């Protein structure tokens, strides 16, 4: 394999193809035409002197040579990115790219935290991806971002995880629910209610299912919905009850549109973590944002959450 004349552009192009295994995805990511991508990959293979990819049916696979080239380009591009970060760090200025991924529930506080950080560091160029737990885990495994915000840590990946915020889960119901003024409702009683649940793969759903299983109970799942917003609307419509993060409910509780039931074993306190791959070298900007999360950045949210819990407890004393 002769790599003497391979260019950085060709490395980026092939790295993208090896990652996505799709010419269409490469074209979209690098803002090229699909035919242009195909031509450049062909020229790269001719320059190297050996096939790098093979097509079986409609699927693309890396050859052994392609796999070796992918590892090499991954190493080189990562080193160049670190070099770029180091050069930026020499200026002692917090600026440049900051790539974040966060699970869906965090959308109620992550944009606010990012906004506060950007007020102090306006030259930072943020990219925030908010998606479900499974996809954030995939992005973490592929090292696509600097920092990942999640509540359930993957067990099959070596990583560094930093706790920065509590995530209380509560049982939410329509404001006129028959149990709205009841105290210390048995979990067995609530299990008979119709539950509006998140989809498979949701951390909140898994936490609720684990609690019921530990008590030899099974929730009566009436409906599955793909977002907390949809679940809140369904609960307000009287279709059932649900378990949601208290962070999701601030506006609805203040407006009296929903109520939190006083159920045994609740609230369940989960934790929010800022995560990155073990031994990953963070840029100065990413390190500063991580310190912001752990130290003063979440102070206001922690205080607001504490007040909500006190109100929740006061209503049921």
Residue ranges of alpha helices (H) inside the chain are 8-20, 23-30, 34-48, 64-90, 110-120, 133-141, 187-190, 203-214, 228-236, 250-254, 284-292, 299-315
pLDDT tens for each residue of 160-206 = 999 998 888 999 999 999 998 888 999 999 988 999 988 776 778 88
* Closest C-alpha to 261, from 151, 166, 186: 186
β 242-245/258-261 pair status: unpaired
Say if residues 30 and 36 touch (Cβ distance below 8 Å): no
pLDDT tens for each residue of 126-139 = 999 998 888 898 99
Domain-wise residue ranges, the chain: 8-88, 94-165+271-307, 166-270+309-315
CATH of 8-88, one of 1.10.579.10, 3.30.300.30, 1.20.1250.20, 1.10.10.10: 1.10.10.10
Indicate the class that CATH gives domain 166-270+309-315.
Answer: alpha beta
Note the residue count of the chain: 317
Considering all CA atoms of the chain, what is the largest pairwise distance in Å, rounded to the nearest integer? 76
Residue 112: Cβ within 10 Å count: 14
pLDDT attached to residue 258: 92
Bridge partners of residue 194, in order along the sequence: 220
By three-state DSSP, how is residue 195 classified?
strand
Q: Flag whether the pTM goes above 0.75.
A: no
Say if residues 122 and 94 touch (Cβ distance below 8 Å): no
β 59-62/53-56 pair status: antiparallel
CATH code of 94-165+271-307, in short, is: 3.40.190.10
* Closest C-alpha to 144, from 111, 182, 100: 100
94-165+271-307 matches 8-88 in CATH topology: no
pLDDT tens for each residue of 87-111 = 665 555 788 899 999 988 888 889 9
Does residue 315 register a pLDDT over 80?
no
């Amino acid at each position: 394999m002769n790599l003497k004349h391979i260019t950085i552009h060709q490395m980026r192009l092939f790295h993208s193809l090896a990652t996505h295994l799709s010419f269409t995805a490469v074209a979209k990511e690098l803002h090229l035409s699909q035919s242009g991508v195909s031509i450049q990959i062909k020229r790269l293979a001719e320059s190297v002197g050996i096939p790098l990819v093979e097509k079986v049916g409609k699927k693309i696979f890396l050859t052994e040579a392609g796999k070796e080239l992918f590892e090499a380009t991954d190493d080189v591009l990562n080193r160049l990115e670190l070099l770029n970060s180091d050069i930026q760090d020499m200026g002692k200025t917090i600026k440049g790219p900051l790539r974040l991924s966060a699970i869906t529930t965090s959308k109620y506080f992550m944009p606010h935290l990012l906004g506060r950080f950007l007020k102090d560091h306006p030259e930072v160029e943020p990219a925030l991806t908010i998606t479900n737990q499974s996809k954030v885990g995939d992005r973490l495994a592929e090292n696509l971002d600097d920092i990942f915000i999640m509540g359930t840590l993957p067990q099959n990946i070596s990583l560094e995880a930093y706790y920065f915020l509590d995530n209380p889960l509560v049982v939410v119901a329509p404001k006129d629910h028959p149990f709205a003024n009841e105290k210390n409702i048995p979990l067995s009683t609530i299990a008979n209610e119709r539950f509006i649940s998140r989809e498979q793969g949701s951390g909140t759903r898994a936490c609720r299912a684990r609690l019921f299983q530990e008590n030899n109970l099974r929730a009566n799942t009436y409906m599955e919905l793909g977002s907390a917003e949809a679940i809140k609307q369904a609960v307000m419509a009287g279709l059932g009850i649900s378990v949601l993060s208290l962070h999701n409910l601030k506006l609805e509780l203040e407006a009296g549109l929903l109520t939190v039931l006083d159920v045994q074993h609740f609230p369940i306190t989960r934790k929010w973590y800022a995560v990155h791959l073990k031994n990953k070298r963070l840029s100065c900007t990413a390190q500063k944002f991580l310190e912001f999360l752990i130290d003063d950045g979440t102070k206001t949210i922690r205080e607001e959450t504490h007040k909500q819990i006190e109100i929740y407890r006061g209503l049921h004393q």
